Amino acid sequence: MHKSTILIFEEEVYSKVAKKIRMAIVGATGMVGRTFLKVLEERNLPVEEYFLFASSRSAGTKVEFMGREYTVEELKEDSFDRGIDIALFSAGASTSLHFAPIAASKGCVVIDNSSAWRMEKDVPLVVPEVNPEDIKWHKGIIANPNCSTIQAVVVLKPLHDRYKIKRIVYSTYQAVSGAGYQGYLDLEEGLKGAPPKKFPYPIAGNVIPHIDVFLENGYTKEEMKMINETRKILHDDSIKITATTVRVPVFNGHSESINVEFEKQFDLEELKEILKSAPGVVVQDDPANLLYPMPIYVSGKDEVYVGRIRRDESVESGVNLWVVADNIRKGAATNAVQIAEKVIEYFFS
């Protein structure tokens, strides 16, 4: 969302907010947690009071946020006994499994960035540009999708609406920041010759076709996340999807080669125009001038960039797309804050 759009949102929606929100950040000292804080400062939600939580190891940390110094508190079972309205969680699946239901039971809407709740039937899995209406049936917990899924569906949704997707082939090139701070360090220190600590092999000067654990079917958990989450978000279990996810020596910004086969015929120029008008999408597609999305250009941005748009001539109605986004912002923190904006719009206005 561009700054001008954010200002319009604030004027039209925040002026109608009936109460000032009390918001918690769980996992406030982690890579995504700190980006939560940065995005919240930028977007100026109508929040009256913030509470910052983390593990006992990080409790006591001082954080500069919203023009004041906060002391990070240890997350405990009674942490939500103070009228907190919304909580952004990014502290791992085990923490979310334990504490999210506790927070929800106290009347707090939890927006969870972990994998803990994504495929639960009664938990909405939301990308605001794609399926914001699903927020309305939440039962206290809303799931933030996998980073690689988020950027894919932002591009795929308007095309699915127009041409009906039959099949998707995902091939991802995922940055080390997707594995957290230790993944970032593995590349940084690996470039100096240090052995890996996070990844099973050196990532500097290498690519690793292995993200998350391997499953019995030979796919990794990351690959199955993309497959299952895409179907849930697009509300279509009929789409045939396969995926190969790869870790590459890039600090920040996930790239994806997405091959799509449609049920309907399409005009390539019309397809490009649909993407140009899609919310949250920037088309960067001018091969004659070597213009296409790359991680070094999208880092720090909230939009999803798409280029290398070309017909797949091996099938009757197929297209190839190159999709790049900042995995820590749109792939995690920004998407969660956008969900919070919608929660405020739907339930506190």
Q: Which residues are catalytic?
A: 147, 254
Q: Which tokens belong to 92?
A: 């791992």
Best CA proximity match to 324, nearest among 287, 286, 281, 290: 281
Q: Is 21 helix (H, G, I), strand (E, B) or coil?
A: strand
Distance CA 124, CA 84 (A): 20
Q: Which tokens belong to 147?
A: 């980073």
Strand partners, 169: 242, 259
Best CA proximity match to 236, nearest among 342, 338, 156, 136: 156
Percentage helix, strand, coil for the chain under 3-state DSSP, each rounded to 5: 35, 25, 40
Parallel, antiparallel or unpaired: strands 86-89 and 62-65: unpaired
Q: Which tokens belong to 119?
A: 């495929």
User: What does residue 191 show for φ and ψ, rounded to 5 degrees?
Assistant: -65, -20
Strand partners, 168: 241, 260
